[in-house]
């Protein structure tokens, strides 16, 4: 069988899964494994080692098969055959052991991995749970608390953590296959260990299942799979093995056929397919080992942090040396917070900070093949920055702007070669948020685009290509539904009702809580700038302007759409009064909105604006719009995105 190689050497059976790129457990691999069990059982050998070709063990099932009726041999049967083999089976893990890959490893009698391996059950990310005994074997190998974390979060753990928790028997230090052979021989000599399913649950602290469920329900924002994974583990904690296995399979099959799983599969493929133009750009990207950043405020410091943590040297320019020092400490604080959170090691944090230099002299940027500007959102300030860059930078340097709304084409015209200008629109916090809108101006060339793509890859971000318009893809669609939400306020809704409807739908936060968090001033400036161009007959709500005029600029001012005097967002009668006055001024009678009506309006507005964005060629594909809303604006992933919900797909 091409996908699974079976070899016998020195009394050991070697089973190598070779199904690039990630050794997914497709039908041919399952058949190959079944064949391996039969062949090796009949051979005169001591033990078997199963491993993956290349740098991965097995990264999971074949996702394309998941939406289809299952084809035999089923993975649970393959794994049961391995576990029941009279030979000890060892899983030799040289990279990712995820989903079905980890289930396979758990069905073996022992596991060894290289230190860089990652082990996890990411099924919940695509709307399902492990379906081949994963939730039944796992708590027989690791404490229940670890099992809950792995199966409900979908996040993998490191080999070291897996070893400490009992998921691995050994860590390989030098030669994985030689050490796996030694482990297999040891097991053969000592007698085959009990398969996981024949073991007792790992002793550990008593789990408060109700508390776990309440917490998870809140965190999963309406997604079903994490709760089903928890329920399956709970069952594994008390019911007999056979019953739990059957229950897990039932949940798996039901979820695999659910609308939620279909939506999550759509997002999975939309994320991988995003940024087509970058993949097609036929040019070599600029070298990203040294990058210039101009402006070290919220965004500049975040962008610099992202670059430093990805191993680039960064030179950051501020208005003067004092401001440069402040920017340096901002970056240092951000890195320190990442270290504290455990997102990066102390050594990596230290190395990152050592690769940062700061100053106020543009001449120091001359050897940076890419410069990203993140100065104030003011056309004149940015224009001046680009003029200076045009004068000091070599002709082939790529110059990018992080502007939220300004016209990239206007900025491009400040330099003699506009093909090297593009927008790189990061989201805040820039070292955390996964989305990167790569803005293609009318003159942006292939090299600039290829550089945007390479940068996204280096920073492990998801790039989406956007054309030039007010707000690109994300902010433009957000501005549209924010405007319509204000119309709903005029017509009878209140901010807390709209926020509750959005949260009930699965958004991380409602639009008003979001505005208070990021500040109302930038959008206010935007509206003022546009006021002279607004047609007199155009509908315009004045509520947000009135809040801004009253100094209610959001959390930073202690009040915005809500009042923060107590530290928490509280409904403020003053805001209700302003809204009611504005309803009266606009001559609108107030009606009661249900949560369903509110969401219907918001989704329709998103979809209408999304459609316009597509028709104008601002977005490449409908899936890109879904990716932007999900990864940048808190749209619930398990709903698939607004365009997917409207049936508009690639």
Closest approach of ligand NAI to the CB of residue 424, in Å? 10
Contact 466, 472 (CB under 8 A): yes
Supply the Cα-derived Rg of the chain in whole angstroms.
28
Instruction: Pick the stretch among 281-289, 335-343, 377-385, 552-560 that binds ligand NAI (CB under 6 A).
Output: 377-385
Per-residue binding string, ligand NAI, 158-187, x by CB under 6 A, is: ------------------------------
Question: Which residue shows structure tokens 């069905």?
Answer: 107
How far from chain centre, in Å, is Cα 194?
38
- Which structure tokens are listed for 455? 């940068």
Task: Tell me if residue 123 is catalytic.
Answer: yes
Q: Does 393 bind ligand NAI (CB under 6 A)?
A: no
Q: Of the listed pieces 2-10, 315-323, 528-536, 568-576, which binds ligand NAI according to CB under 6 A? A: 315-323
Alpha-carbon distance of 526 to 121, in angstroms, equals 45
Distance CA 79, CA 93 (A): 16
Whole-angstrom CA distances from 345 to 267, 285, 309, 350, 596 are 31, 29, 10, 9, 45
Residue 360 CB, nearest approach to ligand NAI (Å): 8
Rounded CA separation 470/538 (Å): 18
- Does 403 participate in binding ligand NAI (rule CB under 6 A)? yes
State the Cα–Cα distance between residues 541 and 621, nearest whole angstrom. Answer: 32
Q: Is the C-alpha dihedral spanning 158, 96, 128, 603 positive or negative?
A: positive
The answer to whether 294 contacts ligand NAI (rule: CB under 6 A) is yes
* By CB under 6 A, residue 295 contacts ligand NAI: yes
Among residues 7, 65, 103, 282, the one annotated as catalytic is 103
Interaction between residue 298 and ligand NAI (CB under 6 A): yes
Answer yes or no whether residue 319 interacts with ligand NAI by CB under 6 A.
Answer: yes
Residue 484 phi, psi dihedral angles, 5° rounding: -70, -30
Tell me the backbone φ, ψ of residue 460, rounded to 5 degrees.
55, 45
Minimal distance, residue 302 CB to ligand NAI, in Å: 8
Closest to ligand NAI by CB, 91 vs 372, is: 372
Using CB under 6 A, which of 133, 134, 296, 463 touches ligand NAI? Answer: 296
What is the rounded distance in angstroms from the CA atom of residue 605 to the CA atom of residue 595?
A: 16
CA distance 620 to 129: 33
Residue 271 is among the residues annotated as catalytic for this protein: no
**Contact call for residue 385 and ligand NAI (CB under 6 A):** yes
Q: Which long-range contacts (CB under 8 A, 24 or more apart) does 388-391 make?
A: 388/362, 389/294, 389/362, 389/365, 389/415, 390/414, 390/415, 390/416
Question: Is 297 a residue that touches ligand NAI (CB under 6 A)?
Answer: yes
**354 or 381: CB nearest ligand NAI:** 381
Position among 159, 317, 544, 625 found at the interface with ligand NAI (CB under 6 A): 317
> Which of residues 437 and 572 has its CB atom nearest to ligand NAI in the complex?
437
Of 7, 9, 65, 123, the catalytic one is 123
The answer to whether 376 contacts ligand NAI (rule: CB under 6 A) is: yes
- Report which residue's Cβ sits closest to ligand NAI: 297
Q: Are 50 and 104 in contact (CB under 8 A)?
A: yes
Cβ of residue 147: shortest distance to ligand NAI, in angstroms? 38
- The binding track of 503-542 with respect to ligand NAI, each residue x by CB under 6 A or -, is ---------------x------------------------
Interface size with ligand NAI, residues (CB under 6 A): 25
Residue 350 binding ligand NAI, by CB under 6 A = no
Q: Is-contact 159 114, C-beta < 8 A?
A: yes
- Using CB under 6 A as the binding rule, whether residue 478 contacts ligand NAI is answered as no
Near ligand NAI in 419-438, by CB under 6 A = 425-428
d(CA 357, CA 314): 6
Q: Which active-site residues does the annotation give? A: 103, 123
Residues that bind ligand NAI (CB under 6 A): 294-300, 317-319, 323, 374-377, 381, 385, 402-404, 425-428, 518
């Amino acid at each position: 069988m091409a996908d699974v190689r079976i070899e016998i050497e020195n009394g050991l059976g070697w089973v190598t899964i070779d199904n690039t790129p990630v050794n997914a457990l497709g039908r041919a691999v399952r058949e190959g494994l079944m064949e391996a069990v039969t062949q090796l059982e009949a051979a005169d050998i001591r033990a078997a080692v199963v491993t993956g070709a290349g740098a991965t063990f097995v990264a999971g099932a074949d996702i394309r098969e998941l939406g289809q009726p299952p084809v035999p041999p089923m993975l649970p049967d393959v794994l049961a055959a391995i576990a029941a083999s009279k030979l000890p089976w060892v899983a030799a893990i040289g990279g990712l052991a995820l989903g079905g890959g980890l289930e396979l490893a758990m069905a073996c009698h022992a596991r060894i991995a290289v230190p860089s391996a990652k082990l996890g059950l990411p099924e919940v990310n695509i709307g399902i749970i492990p379906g081949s005994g994963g939730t039944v074997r796992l708590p027989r190998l690791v404490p229940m608390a670890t099992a809950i974390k792995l199966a409900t979060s979908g996040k993998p753990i490191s080999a070291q953590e897996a070893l400490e928790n009992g998921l691995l028997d050994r860590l390989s230090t030098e030669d994985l296959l030689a050490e796996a052979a030694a482990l297999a021989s040891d097991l053969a000599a000592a007698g085959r260990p009990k398969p996981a399913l024949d073991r007792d649950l790992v002793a550990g602290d008593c789990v408060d299942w109700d508390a776990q469920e309440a917490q998870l329900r809140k965190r999963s924002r309406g997604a079903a799979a994490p709760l089903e994974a928890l329920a399956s583990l709970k069952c594994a904690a008390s019911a007999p093995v056979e019953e739990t296995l059957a229950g897990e399979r039932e949940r798996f099959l039901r979820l695999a056929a659910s609308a939620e799983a279909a939506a999550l599969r759509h997002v999975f493929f939309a994320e991988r397919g995003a940024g087509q133009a970058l993949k097609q750009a036929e040019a070599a990207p600029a070298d990203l080992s040294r990058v210039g950043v101009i402006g070290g405020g919220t965004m500049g410091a975040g962008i610099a942090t992202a670059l430093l943590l990805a191993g680039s040297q960064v030179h950051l320019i501020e208005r003067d040396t004092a401001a440069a020092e402040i920017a340096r400490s901002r970056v240092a604080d951000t890195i320190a917070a990442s270290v504290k959170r455990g997102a990066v090691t102390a050594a990596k944090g230290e190395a990152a900070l050592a690769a940062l230099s700061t100053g106020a002299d543009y001449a120091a940027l001359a050897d940076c093949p890419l410069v990203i500007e993140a100065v104030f959102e003011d056309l004149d300030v940015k224009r001046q920055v680009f003029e200076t860059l045009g004068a000091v930078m070599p002709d082939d340097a790529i110059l990018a702007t992080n502007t939220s709304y300004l016209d990239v084409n206007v900025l491009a015209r400040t330099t003699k070669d506009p093909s090297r200008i593009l927008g790189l629109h990061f989201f805040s916090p820039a070292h955390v948020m996964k989305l990167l809108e790569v803005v293609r101006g009318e003159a942006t060339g292939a090299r600039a685009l290829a550089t945007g793509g390479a940068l996204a890859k280096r920073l492990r971000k998801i790039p989406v290509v956007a054309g030039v318009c007010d707000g690109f893809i994300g902010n433009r669609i957000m501005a549209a539904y924010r405007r319509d939400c204000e119309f709903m306020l005029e017509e009878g809704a209140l901010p807390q009702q709209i926020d509750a409807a959005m949260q009930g739908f699965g958004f991380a936060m409602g639009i008003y809580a979001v505005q208070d968090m990021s500040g109302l001033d930038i959008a206010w400036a935007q509206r003022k700038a546009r006021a002279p161009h607004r047609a007199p007959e155009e509908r315009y709500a004045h509520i947000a302007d009135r809040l801004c005029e009253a100094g209610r600029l959001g959390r930073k001012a202690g009040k915005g759409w809500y009042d923060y005097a107590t530290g928490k967002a509280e409904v403020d009668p003053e805001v209700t009064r302003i809204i009611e006055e504005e309803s009266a001024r606009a001559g609108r009678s107030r009606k009661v909105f249900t949560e369903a009506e509110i969401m219907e309006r918001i989704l329709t507005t998103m979809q209408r604006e999304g459609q316009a964005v597509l028709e104008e060629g601002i977005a490449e594909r409908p899936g890109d719009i879904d990716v932007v809303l999900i990864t940048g604006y808190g749209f619930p992933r398990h709903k698939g995105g607004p365009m997917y919900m409207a049936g508009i797909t690639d």
